[in-house]
Amino acid sequence: MSVGNLSFSAIGNQFLLQRPVLLQVQCSRRLTETEIQERVAYFTKAAAGGAVLVSPSISPGEKAVMRAAFEQGFPLIYLQENGFTDLAKPGGQRMEACARGQLLILAPWEHHNEHTTISRNQCLSLNDMARSLCSVCCCTTATNQTVANDEGV
């Protein structure tokens, strides 16, 4: 599938991209546990208000936010580094979330079988893609919400 000038393999609810508010979740690795909990509260409140959270869930803060939102049943778009095989499907809770329409998993790159550590450049690229998705897919007022990442909540 293509979104703007980006191309992805996708599994899940593609209609999440059409929701009026997509909000990028990006957190510095330097956040304290207190700051992470503040981000979790901020983003889950936004999701409760109808925002779809978008993130590759790389840093501990991003993982905490996306995990909390997932557990509360809020809609998420997750960008993953490793692509899908031809017959791929998510397992367990992720499969159930896709079936409920709660989750969209996007992969910008091809599948690989090797276990590799994600590089800094890949992390930066995935965060840039999340930012682009939020600006391409959202109305003008929603794109201004992407600044709520590490500049303060």
CA distances from 86 to 56, 98, 111 (A): 22, 18, 9
For the stretch 97-135, pLDDT in tens is 888 999 999 988 766 677 877 778 888 889 998 998 888
Mean confidence (pLDDT) of the chain: 83
Q: Does the pLDDT of residue 148 top 70, yes or no? A: no
What's this model's pTM, rounded to 2 decimal places?
0.83
The candidate with the shortest Cα–Cα distance to 6, out of 135, 148, 142, 140, is 135
What is the rounded CA–CA span in Å between residue 118 and residue 121?
8
CB atoms within 10 A of CB 9: 17
CB atoms within 10 A of CB 129: 20
For the stretch 28-50, pLDDT in tens is 999 999 999 999 999 999 999 99
What average pLDDT does the segment 79-84 reach?
76
E strand or H helix at 77, and its extent? strand 76-79
Q: What percentage of the chain reaches a pLDDT higher than 70? A: 82
Q: Note the pLDDT of residue 3.
A: 80
What is the rounded CA–CA span in Å between residue 102 and residue 9?
17
Contact 72, 47 (CB under 8 A): yes
